[in-house]
Amino acid sequence: MARKHYLWKHWPIYSMILPGLLFFILFRYIPIAGSIIAFQDYNVFSGVLGSKFVGFKHFVNLFMYPEFYRILRNTILISLYQLVFGFPAPIVLAILLNEVRKMVFKRTIQTVIYLPHFLSWVIVGGLVINALSPNYGIVNSMLSSFGFQKIFFLQEPQFFRSIIVVSGIWKEIGWGTIIYLAALANVNPELYEAAEVDGAGKFRQVISITLPALLPTIMVLLLLRIGNFLDLGFEQIYILLNPLVKETGDIIDTYIYDVGLLGSQFSYTTAIGMFKSVVGLILIVGANQISKKLTGNSLY
Amino acid sequence: MKNIIFRRALCMVAAIGILAGCSQQTGSGTNKNGAKTAETPVVKIAIETRGLPYVEGSSNINDDKYVKKLRELSKTNVNIELIPHQEFTQKLNLMLAAGDLPDILQINGINSTEAAPAVKNGAFYELNDLLEKYAPNLLKKIPQQLWDSSMISENGKIYAIPGENYVRNNVVYVRKDWLDKLHLQVPKTIDEYVAMLKAFKEQDPNGNGKQDEIPMSGRQNFAFTDEFFGAYDVVPDGWKYENNQLVPNFIRPQMKQALGVYRKLYQDQLLDNEFLVQQGKDWDAKIKGAARVGMWAHDPSYPDKWQSEVRQADPNAQLINIPAPTGPDGKGGMGLASPVGNVWAIPKSNKHPEEALKFLEWYFTDEAQKFLDYGLEGEDYTVENGKIQYKYAKTVDDINKENMHLMFLRLIGPSYLANEEFMKGRKDSDLILNGLKVAKNEGRESDGLDMPLPPTLLSRPELGKNNLWMETAAKIVTGKEPLDSFDKFVEDWKKRGGDQVIKEATEWYNARHKK
C-alpha cells in the first residue's frame, strides 16, 4: 500500500523511465520472437508464417560443420586472450593516470589515447597492415636495423591472435579508462592522507585503497564482458584475416558472414546467433553466481 | 571529470545537429525535383555507384548537371538512388527483404543469390509481352545472346533488361619504358614472362641503383593476378566441361601446374610477396604512387588513365598492354566474364512499367548516344561547321568526370568503346585501341558462365573458391606446404561435398545445353 502511494506521488519522475522501457520492449524483446526462424527454412518472401519448420536441422548442420571445432577454438582463445590481457589494460592505465599530478599532462594524455576509439577498424586495420608490412612497415624496419630477419607477421598463423589482441588494446585502452577514472574520482582523498600518515607508500596505497575502491566497477564490467564472450567484434578480425592465417583466425562471426550475408542463409545464421546467445547467457549467469559468492558484487 | 562528460555530451549534440541538418537538406531537394515536373513520367532508379569517384563524391547526384540533362533529353523525370559499390549485394538484400523498391532496380542477374528468390516469388515483372508492346526496339537492338543468358531469362521468360559488357576480360599491363630500357622482347610464353620479370628484378630498370622494383603485383585472393592461371586454362572461378562433368577449374590437375608457377614466382620474389594481404588501395599505391611495379593485370579500356596516373610518380613511364602468357595449348588470357553487363529489373511495385521500358528504349536513340558519348554542349564539346569538337579529358579529374556520362549514366546500349570515331580522337587512343584488341584476341571461356551457385555451394560456402581452395593455394604459393598437398586438397574437397557440387553443376549444364 505504502509503495503504491510512493509511485503515485512521484509519477512524473517514474514516467521518465517510459521511453527507455519502450525502447527495450520494441527493439530488444519483440525481435527475440524473430529467433523462431532458426527452426525454419526461412524465405524472405514467404515470411515467418509461410516458411516451413525444420526443427533442429540448422543446429545439427552447425555442429556437423567440419571446421566447427576450429572456429569455436579460435573464438574462445581470442576471447580468452582479450579477457586476460585486454581487460586489465585500461585498469592499469587508469591507476597510472590517477597518480599523475600535473593536470595539463594528464588531460593531454587522456585526449590522445581516446582518439583511436573514434577511428573505424577499416582505418586501424590499414594502419596495422602498413605497420607490419615487410617492405615498408616500421616494425620490420626496426627489426632489420637490429640485424633480425624480416617477419611477415600477417601471414604467420602464430602471430595472428597476438596482433588482434594488441591492436584491440591499442584502439580501445583510452576509452576503457573513462569509467575507471570516474570511479577513482569518487574515492575520498582523506583515505590516502590517512594512509600516508600511517606510513603507506604509493604502491601500498594502490593495493589497499585504489583497487578495493575499483573492485565493484571492475566486477560489473567483467561480468558484462563475459556475457559477450563469443562476440569478438567481426570487423577487426575480418579486415586482418587472410587465407594463410585462417587456421588461427577464422571465428564464428566470420563464418556467419560467409554463410549468411554471402550465401543468404538467414535461418542458419540465426541458429548460430542463438547458439552464441545461449552460451553467453550460461556464462553470464554462472559468472554472476560465482562473483556473488566470492566478492558480494553482482549484476542483479 | 564532470567537465569532460559535459564536453562529450556537447560534441554528441553537435553531431546530431549536423546529421539532422543533412537529412533535412536532401529531403527538400527531392521534393523540389518531384514538384518541378509533375506532368512528365517519374522513374526512380537504384544504381550501383561502380566506385566511380565523380559519382561517389557528388553531394546530391539528383542535382548533377548530367542527370538534369538526362531528364531533359529523355523527357523522363529520372530520380537516382545510389547503392554504394562496396555493399551492393548487402544493400540489395536489405531492399528486397524490406520490399522498398524503386521503379528500376539494378541487380546482379536474376539467378544471383539475392535476386533469385525475388524472381521466384514474382517480385519482378515478366517482361516478354510488355517489351513487345511498349519497347519493341529493345528486343531488336539488344543481341539475342544477352536475352538468352540465365542472368536475364528463365525458360524463355524475360525478367530483366541486359546492358552490354563490351570488355569481358582483363589484360596484362607492362611498363614499356622498362622493357625498352632493358632491351627486352615482348614475352609470349610462361618462360619468357618469367625471364622478363627476372630482368625487372635484377637489372634495375628504374635506374635508381636499388633493387626496389616489384616485378609483378597482385591483390588479395589472387584478384587481378590470374595471368598464369589463364595460361593453363584454369582461371580459379571458371568451370570446365570434361569427361561428361562440369568441374570447377580449381580442382583440375592443370591447377597444380599453375600453382607451381606462382610458387616459383613468389619464392624468387618476382611476385609481390604481400599480394595475399593486399587491398586495392595498397596495390594502387605501389603501381601508381611509387611507380615500382613492372607488370599487373587490369581492365583494357583505360590504359590512358593508368598511364597518366603512373606518370604522376614517374614522368617517363610508358605503359602497354601485351598478350597474356600462353600455356601448353598455345593460348592464354584471363577469364572471360559474362557478356551481360548491367542488369535492370522492374519491380512489381512500379505501377507504370511501360514508362520505365520507354525510358530504357530511349537509350538506343542517336540523341541518347550523342549525349552519353560527348556529354554537354558548351561544357564537354562545341560544334564547329556542324562537326562535334569534343574536349578530350586530360587530367585525372577530367577523366573521372567524363566517366559520369561515358559509363555511369549509360544504363544499357552500346559502349563508347565501340564508337571508333569517338575513340580515335582521344589522347593516347592507340594505347586504348591496342588494349581492346589484345583483350578481344584472348581470354578463357568458362563452361559454367552465368550459372547460379549450386545449392550445395550455397549451404557449404567453405567448398567455394575463396575458402578451402584459397587456403590451400595460399599455403602452396608461400611455400608453407608442398605442391603435392594440392592432391590431398582435391581428394578432401570431393569427399566433403565437392562430388555433390559437381553433380549439381553437371545437371545445370546438361539442362541448359540439351534444349
> Is residue A37 predicted with pLDDT exceeding 60?
yes
> Is residue B489 predicted with pLDDT exceeding 50?
yes
Residues 6+ apart with CB under 8 A from A147: none
Alpha helix segments (H runs only) across B232-374: 253-267, 280-284, 303-311, 353-362, 366-374
User: Cα-Cα-Cα-Cα dihedral of B22, B24, B30, B34, to 10°?
Assistant: -170
Q: Domain locations in chain A?
A: 40-294
> Is residue B392 predicted with pLDDT exceeding 80?
yes
User: What top-level class would CATH report for the domain B37-165+340-379?
Assistant: alpha beta
- Cα of B259 to nearest chain A Cα, Å: 15
Probe site for chain A from B274, B472, B492 (most A CB atoms < 10 A): B274
Confidence of residue B251 (pLDDT cuts 50, 70, 90): very high
CATH number for domain A40-294, candidates 3.90.190.20, 1.10.3720.10, 3.20.20.100, 3.40.50.720: 1.10.3720.10
Question: Would you say A292 and A298 are in contact if contact means Cβ atoms under 8 Å apart?
Answer: yes
Give the model's pLDDT for residue B323.
96
Q: Which range has highest mean pLDDT (A13-17, A137-141, B491-495)?
A: B491-495
CB < 8 Å to A262, chain B: 89, 113, 461
Confidence of residue B335 (pLDDT cuts 50, 70, 90): very high
Residues 6+ apart with CB under 8 A from B233: B240, B249, B254, B327, B329, B331, B444
Amino acid letter for position A40: Q
d(CA B287, CA B217): 8
Confidence of residue B26 (pLDDT cuts 50, 70, 90): very low
pLDDT tens across A201-253, in order?
888 999 999 999 999 899 889 988 888 888 888 889 998 988 889 889 999 99
Would the CB atoms of A263 and B113 count as touching at under 8 Å? yes
Nearest CB to A129; choose among B114, B277, B467: B277
d(CA B171, CA B302): 11
Looking at domain B171-335+444-513, which CATH architecture does it have?
3-Layer(aba) Sandwich (3.40)
Confidence of residue B47 (pLDDT cuts 50, 70, 90): very high
Q: How far is CA A249 from CA A79, A122, A259, B472, in A?
A: 12, 17, 17, 15
Phi, psi torsion values for B77, nearest 5 degrees: -85, 85
Give the model's pLDDT for residue A4.
67
3-state secondary structure of B42: strand
Q: How far is CA A53 from CA A40, A188, A206, in A?
A: 4, 60, 58
> Is residue B426 predicted with pLDDT exceeding 60?
yes
Amino acid letter for position B172: V
Nearest CB to B90; choose among A61, A247, A261: A261
Would the CB atoms of B478 and A45 count as touching at under 8 Å? no
Q: How far is CA B207 from CA A136, B175, B296, in A?
A: 20, 14, 20
A285-288 own/partner pairs: CB under 8 Å, 24+ apart:
A287/A222, A287/A223, A287/A226, A288/A223
ipTM confidence score: 0.78
pLDDT tens across B88-129, in order?
888 888 888 888 899 999 999 998 888 888 898 889 999 999
**Whole-number average pLDDT of chain B:** 88
| pLDDT higher at A296 or A26 | A26
Would the CB atoms of B474 and A243 count as touching at under 8 Å? yes
End-to-end CA distance of chain A: 25
3-state secondary structure of B44: strand
Amino acid letter for position A214: L
- Cα of A23 to nearest chain B Cα, Å: 19
d(CA A269, CA A62): 9
Confidence of residue A262 (pLDDT cuts 50, 70, 90): low
> Is residue B30 predicted with pLDDT exceeding 80?
no
Give the model's pLDDT for residue B27.
37
Compute the count of residue pairs across chains A and B with CB atoms less than 8 Å apart.
81
